[in-house]
Structure 1
Amino acid sequence: MTNNELHYVDLMEVGRQIQSRQRSSEEVTRHLLERLHAVDTRLHSYVTVMADQALRDARAADKEIAAGQARGPLHGVPLAVKDLLWTAGTATSNGMPMLRDHVPQEDATTVRRLRDAGAVLLGKLQQTEGAFADHHPDVTAPVNPWGETLWSGVSSSGSGVATAAGLCFGSLGTDTGGSIRFPSAANGVTGLKPTWGRVSRYGAFELAASLDHIGPIARNTVDAAAILGAIAGADPLDPTAARQPVPDYLALMTRGVAGLRLGFDPDWGMKPADPATQAVVRDALKVLESAGAEPREVRFPDTDQAVADWSPLCGLETAVAHEETYPARRSEYGPVLSALIEVGRSLDAMEYQKLQLRRADFRGRVDALFDQVDLLLIPAVAYAGVTVETMASFADDEALLGGMMRYTCPFDLSGHPTLTLPGGVTMEGAPVAWQLVAPHFREDLLVRGGWAFQRMTDWHRRHPQV
């Protein structure tokens, strides 16, 4: 393998090479820093490149490994994190120019756990303003490496772009309404949104506390499972982090899907998906069936009300998260995030209670569905190959809004874990994705499904030419 191919090596494989001393962490880190310098001036996926610290950490990893103190599969591997996760001594701006000089004094729990696992932190990845739906007007949005006219996804846009373009071996993103799944689908990578509470949110800027999820974006299921295993678990700094034991995802993953009941709703799960997305979902169903899964037709609970309820609920929680600076510094906010906060500030107590009751009802209906099946197979988003131009009308186009949110935000409301996987391309060559959904805290089933699918297909091995 030449260095021209090194940046697209799987995380687990490059980790094996580093930990067996076939390569050094410093060599791999330098290669990615050089690639960043050459490529990211066009893609704009990073806010901050932590080159000096990354090289120091890489050298430290090499010394530990040489001394026989390898910490696990992430040791010495260069990763990157979304810029709403605190990093001690390094600016964390949450996609907001007004916070460009905010320097935390401690790491977010997820960042600390990556460091404890021996990962090398390359830098902070670009995102939308406050992790909502659009980049601040003063921020250059990341460019999709599959084509500059293609949407790069929100809000973890930099995480999706950097992972797809070989500018890190994996990354962390967050998902409040679809923000791990949108960039994973748009950039042809694998994104795992855990159960709400599976991963600590301490040290992460909030968008909406009860909807926010932190999880990995990687180039395949195995790599995503390795990252999730490092960051998941209870945290005394976050009482909402679940105390359920964290399984060994890598050990369980190879059980595959034989005998698992795979739910599919041919009505809700296909409409209003476009032909390319429908074809990818059907193909995924066939692949998993051939791997031993048992397809079962189900009827998914109606999501129209859940999609409608997501915005006011998110708006209210966002208003709470920003109460120290909004409306006091309203002029420094972009129009999209400002509009969301105004929605939240206008909500009264009666409306809020109705939202909460409908949310609990929906969550219960999804829970009940998993009495019938082990996994649910659905589109990641309804439309493939969406362009930047098309997404400019997102807020005003009800059909586009409904189609994009139909398969994402309901699972933020319910807190169920999901795995997004590349499964094809459009006629124009844009990635097309599909999604698995599992019961609460059954991420092990997700990675079993993703591993089985990616053993039999090669969509995750296709990379953009950048």
Structure 2
Amino acid sequence: MPNADLHYWEAAELARKIRARDISPVEVTEAILERISDLDPALHSYALVLPEQALEQARDAERALMRGGPLGALHGVPVAVKDLCWQAGSPTAAGTTIHKDFIPTEDATVVRKLRDAGAIVLGKLQLTEGAFATHHPSIPEPVNPWHPNHWAGASSSGSGVATAAGLCYASIGTDTGGSIRFPAAANGLTGIKPTWGRVSRHGVFELGASLDHVGPIARSAADAALMLGTIAGHDPLDPTSLPPSHLDLPAEGSDLRGLRIGVDVQWNSDGTDDVISQAIDRAIDVLKALDGQVREVRFPAVRTVVDEWEINCGVEVAVAHAGTFPRLSAEYGPALTRLIEIGRNTSGMRYQQALLNRAAFRGKVNKLMQDIDLLIVPVQPFAAPTHEQLGALAQDPELNSRLIQFTAPFNSTGHPAITLPCGFTADGMPIAFQLVARHSEEALLCRAGMAFQQATDWHRYHPEIGVRRADAA
């Protein structure tokens, strides 16, 4: 049943209690750091914990609270960031061994914005190598707190595990082919992949520059909106960030009266396991009960853009790693090596054809979205796979295309998407779906997500984990 323990409070709830002086930022930070010390030796969600820095930030937050005056939206709330994000004076390895000694001299824009909002940054969260498919062979993989035999969800795995396990109140992830949405789904969380350019990528290691999105992973749509409102906005340090605009995110949900919600029954069921299809059918019933106008649509064919995702990403990641590959290729793991080699071996003509196909697909999706406000789609065609199943996926391009068939299309088009928990499998693994909106319509996604979560309680369930010290793991 839902757990009301301190470490599982929602970030917005904690922020309110801190403002009311019902609880101290130092008290909260000490409690979470102790929980990290107890649990993370077995969960491996953190690449680097910064306890001294976090406690100093907490003491500063408490002093500011005592002085009175304006406070940021996340004042005193402990969060953590994916270890792609620069943090001045702290190593940022990006899930690799080649960058293990890289120490930035400035914060990534998202880190700076979190600090400016009063958040306490606990540390850096583990990820797959370079944010691609699998973890570097020498780095322990984060463990799904719902079940250790199951996948924790692609590159933002540490962000998903830490948030689900109560080792931070929300986190920053990145999404190039599904890596905010996969860990959100696998860990029973809410994640937002914003419109491309909505959140600055300055100070964030690249995987595929035109596919990379930075966004929040949280315990609720309200918390995800709170985080997104903090980190979003134009950044002169990132020339690809969207022009200045007002992002009016709702503080709470309502009904969905007047919203046109599209569903492509044929695409959604294409190779999708029954347990996923049934959970999405129940989610659609909730959306209807909230007065959403659900209508059938035909989504543009995705096979080409999904199959060419690796070409697009491969060329971009080869450019991003040109300074270290092939010079240090022996220190790379097999999955990232394979992707870089795809990029290096792709001809200019083949890459241009992929870009043209991608542009045409984006235009078709934009046209469809003119007739609806939201699109409901699975996150993946099956629940979080076991590690054995994942191993097969990594070796089979056809299976990998199946995995990303509902996520990668929206990296290629840049449309925003929110992932929402909507059930469990028979063995207790979380199930989720995603809502997709027109470009720059994150407020609509948050409104719909909050409304759905006011009518359901899937997001209020937490994994049953106890103290797992290293000697007891």
What interval of TM-score do these two structures reach, taking the shorter chain for normalisation? over 0.9
Q: Distance in 2 between matches of 1:250 and 1:58?
A: 28
Cα deviation, residue 400, structure 1 = 3.0
Pairwise CA distance, 1:250: 2.9
User: SS of the residue aligned with 1:115?
Assistant: helix
Contact 1:10 1:219 in 2 (8 A): yes
Aligned residue number for residue 382 of structure 1: 381
The secondary structure found in structure 2 opposite 1:31 is helix
* 2:310 counterpart letter in structure 1: S
Contact kept, 8 Å, 1:19 with 1:70, in 2: the verdict is no
**Given that residues 194 and 213 in structure 1 are in contact (C-alpha distance below 8 angstroms), is that contact kept between their aligned partners in structure 2?**
yes
- Paired position in structure 1 for 2:202: 202
Partner of 1:173: 173
Answer whether contact 2:153 2:384 (CA < 8 A) is retained.
no
What is the rounded CA distance, in whole Å, between the counterparts of 1:248 and 1:31 in structure 2? 33
Secondary structure, aligned partner of 2:250: helix
Deviations 1:154-212 (A, max 9, x none): 10000000000000000000000010011111111111000000000000000010000
Equivalenced residue count is: 463
Following superposition of structure 1 onto structure 2, how do residues 366-377 of structure 1 map, counting pairs within 5 Å?
Answer: 366-377=365-376
Does residue 79 (structure 1) correspond to residue 76 (structure 2)? The answer is no
What residue is the counterpart of 1:358 in the other structure? 357
Measured in 2, the distance between the counterparts of 1:385 and 1:312 equals 26
Quote the offset at 1:255 in angstroms.
4.3
What is the CA–CA distance in structure 1 between the aligned matches of 2:234 and 2:353, rounded to whole Å? 31
Are 2:389 and 1:394 equivalent residues in the alignment? no
Q: Quick one: distance in 2 between partners of 1:385 and 1:349?
A: 36
d(CA) in 2 for partners of 1:181 and 1:244?
26
Structure 1 runs, 4 residues or longer, greater than 6 Å off: none
Find the aligned partners of 2:267 and 2:34 in 1 and give their Cα distance.
Answer: 46
Q: Counterpart in 2 of 1:302?
A: 301
The aligned residue for residue 36 of structure 1 is 36
Q: Tell me how far apart the structure 1 counterparts of residues 90 and 395 of structure 2 sit (CA, whole Å).
A: 37
1:106-185 matches, within 5 Å, as 106-185=106-185
Partners of 1:14 and 1:303 lie apart in 2 by 41
Name 1:340's counterpart in structure 2: 339
CA contact (8 A) 2:253 2:449 kept: no
| CA distance 1:378–1:4, change in 2 (3 Å) | closer
How far is the alpha carbon of 1:311 from its aligned partner? 0.4
* Residue 448 of structure 1: aligned partner: 447
Q: Which residue of 2 aligns with 1:259?
A: 258
For 1:238, give the aligned amino acid.
Answer: D
1:283-312 residue CA offsets vs partner (Å, 9 max, x unmatched): 111101101110011000000111101001
Counterpart CA distance in 2 for 1:41 and 1:210 is 35
Matched residue type, 2:160:
G
Q: Which moved more, 1:398-407 or 1:295-304?
A: 398-407
Match of 1:318 in 2: 317
Residue pair 2:129, 2:336 contacting (<8 A) in 1 also:
yes
**Distance (whole Å) between structure 2 residues aligned to residue 111 and residue 117 of structure 1:** 10
* Structure 1 residues 256-299: Cα deviation after superposition (integer angstroms, max 9, x where no partner): 42110000011001221101110111111110110111001100
- Contact 1:95/1:130 (8 A) holds in 2: yes
Task: State the alpha-carbon separation in 1 of the partners of residues 156 and 195 from structure 2.
Answer: 18
Q: Cα distance, 1:98 vs. partner?
A: 1.6
Cα displacement (A) at 1:63: 1.1
CA distance in 2, matches of 1:398, 1:110: 33
CA apart distance, 1:398: 4.8
On the 8 A contact 1:273/1:403 being kept in 2, the answer is: no
Superposed CA deviations along residues 73-127 of structure 1, whole A, max 9, x for unmatched, are: 3111000000000000111000001211111000000000000000000000000
Same amino acid, percent of matched pairs = 52
d(CA) in 2 for partners of 1:70, 1:44: 36
Shift of 1:69: 2.7
Tell me if the contact between 2:253 and 2:454 (Cα under 8 Å) persists in the aligned partners. Answer: no
Q: Which amino acid aligns with 1:446?
A: L
What is the rounded CA distance, in whole Å, between the counterparts of 1:186 and 1:320 in structure 2?
Answer: 31
1:247 Cα deviation (Å)? 1.8
